[in-house]
Each structure stands twice: as C-alpha cells, then as structure tokens.
Amino acid sequence: MSKDNIFIKIKENIKNLSQSERKVANFITKEPTDIMFDTINELSEKVGTSTTTIMRLASKLGYSGYTELQRDIQKFLKDGKAPQSRLASNLQNIEKDNLWTETVDFHTTQLQQFSNQVDEQTLNKAINLIENANNICCTCVRSGLPAGHYFSQNINRIKGNCNLIVADTSDWVDEVVSMNSKDVLVAISYPRYAKRINDFVKIAKNKGVKIIIITDTFSSPLVDYADVILPCDSNSLAFHNSPILSLVVIDYLINALAVKETKKNSNRLDDINEILQQIKYHTNN
C-alpha cells in the first residue's frame, strides 16, 4: 500500500471511481472525523450507499478493507499531527471566553456518544470477566496513567487481586509469563498507541488471557485482541488525549463490582478500613 495519505489517494484515483464511490469519497474528504467513529453500516446510512460500495472504494484505494481505511484516516488526523499542531488547530474553534462551558459540553457529548455505542451487555461482560478472574492486571502508559491508577487502586481495594503495570517502565515479561486463561488484562491505550502495550496484549492473548480494551475507537490496533472493547473517545479541546470518558466508564465498573461484592457479604473493605484506623492513616482518626 502506498505511503500517501487517503486524501491524496482519493485525488489520484477519482477518475477510476464510480458515481456511488465518488459519493463516499466526497463524504470522507468533507467529514473525515466522522469516519473515525462510524462503523461501515453507519457510514453507509449517512452517505446513502451500500456497504459493498464502501468496500469497493477501500479496495480501489489500496486498503484491505474498511478497518484499514479507517485506521489511515485516524493516523492522518491524530497521529500525524504534533501536539502543538493539534492545539493550534483546535484553538481556532474555541471561544476563549466560553472555554469552561465548551469543555463541559464537549465531554457531555462524548458521554452521550459512548452510551449510544456501547450496550449494557458489553459492560456486563467486562464486569463478569473482572469479577471471576484469578488475577487482574491493568496496563497503560503516559496519558492513560490517570485511568490506569484509578482502575487498579479501586479494583484491588475491592478484589485484592489487581495490579498496575506501566508498560513503559515495568518489565511486563516477568508478569505475562505466569498469566493464563483464568486471568484478565485490562489495557488502556490512546493515540499514538504505545508499541509496548500492543506487544504485552498480543502475548497475553496468545496465552489465553481474557483481554478488556479501553481505547479511543474501534480502529485501535488493540481491537483485534479484545474480548471486550470499551471505546472511550480521548479527544480534547486542546492537544492532549483526555482520560475523562475512560474515568467515567471505569467508575461504573468499580461501582458495579462494589455492589456485587457487597451482596456476597464480603468483609474485605471493612478489614481494610480497620487497618487504616489502626495505623491512623487519615487525619481525622
């Protein structure tokens, strides 16, 4: 496949496209950010053409399928821009006097989109995998750290079998070698998708470990290994990958597991609290 981005490929191949294929190509050119989140069926409905037409277009542009085309758009829009370039681009559309309101509205929209993309059955599958796992491991890097720490600390407080592995700094090989099909790996990965997380997940999957992926889109490179995918948009109004949506989703998982443990009459949280009081951990003890 050519190294040219998708917009150059469309320009170079436009004469070879049918009218219906050109209709899809025009939509991609005008609304590329929509493609980052749409399934092929959703795109088909928006454009008013068949999924077969979209697949033919992808093939003519040199892609193996819609997923690869989608990844190329995502790479161009998100990975291809340096943070400062992303910041400069986004700031053009921000009214500085209303930044607080725009930030709240932005993340509110993200939450609504997530609720439209993910059903309760998917969330319940993630909860059940975590609940029944012998060992739970969470891995992340850089902008995923806030979500990774929040997940690991609270799940371990509830279950006592969760640890955090920062893929950039930890020797995860020592961990993955003893993992098996009764364990769960939760991987949090945002653009530009750290290779060490991808390697960790791939090897864990080969060992039969159940994989829960928290990532920005269904075109993330980790999706192929996932038993459960929780697509948490990481866009922000500035340049950075935002963990806000991931934190909300993780908070739901924590709440659900806490309720389940309470119904089991687990004494773990009471035992932990008693120890904290004994060592006068809190200032109000």
Over residues 102-112, the mean pLDDT reads 85
**Whether residue 261 is found in the same domain as residue 159:** yes
**Whether residue 128 is found in the same domain as residue 73:** no
Least confident range of 69-83, 120-134, 225-239: 69-83
250: number of Cβ within 10 Å: 25
106 assigned to some structural domain: no
Q: Quick one: DSSP state of residue 96? A: G
Distance CA 284, CA 194 (A): 42
**Whether residue 74 is found in the same domain as residue 176:** no
* Domain region containing 36: 6-79
Over residues 62-88, the mean pLDDT reads 72
Q: What is the percent of the chain with per-residue pLDDT over 70, rounded to a whole number? A: 87
Given 79, 103, 136, which residue is the final one in a domain?
79
Q: Quick one: tokens of 201? A: 């997940």
**Whether residue 70 is found in the same domain as residue 129:** no
**Whether residue 75 is found in the same domain as residue 135:** no
φ, ψ dihedrals at 192, nearest 5°: -100, 35
38 assigned to some structural domain: yes
Whole-model pTM: value is 0.67
Distance CA 204, CA 29 (A): 38
Q: Quick one: tokens of 102? A: 């725009």
Q: Quick one: tokens of 272? A: 């932990």
Distance CA 86, CA 53 (A): 32
Of residues 203 and 238, more confidence is placed in 203
Q: Strands 162-166 and 210-215: what pairing?
A: unpaired
113 assigned to some structural domain: no
Over residues 191-219, the mean pLDDT reads 90
Given 28, 47, 79, which residue is the final one in a domain?
79
State how many domains the chain has: 2
Residue 163 in contact with residue 184, Cβ under 8 Å? no
The CATH number of the domain where 40 resides is what? 1.10.10.10
Q: Quick one: tokens of 138? A: 């969470």
69: number of Cβ within 10 Å: 24
33 assigned to some structural domain: yes
Q: Side chain identity at 239, as an amino acid letter?
A: F
**Whether residue 152 is found in the same domain as residue 263:** yes
What does the CA dihedral 116, 117, 121, 125 come to, rounded to 10 degrees? Answer: -140
**Whether residue 156 is found in the same domain as residue 237:** yes
Distance CA 253, CA 143 (A): 20
268 assigned to some structural domain: yes
The CATH number of the domain where 232 resides is what? 3.40.50.10490
Which is nearest to 59 in space by CA: 30, 87, 21? 21
**Whether residue 74 is found in the same domain as residue 123:** no
Distance CA 153, CA 148 (A): 8
**Whether residue 139 is found in the same domain as residue 223:** yes
109 assigned to some structural domain: no
265 assigned to some structural domain: yes
Element spanning 157, H or E: helix 145-159
**Whether residue 58 is found in the same domain as residue 135:** no
101 assigned to some structural domain: no
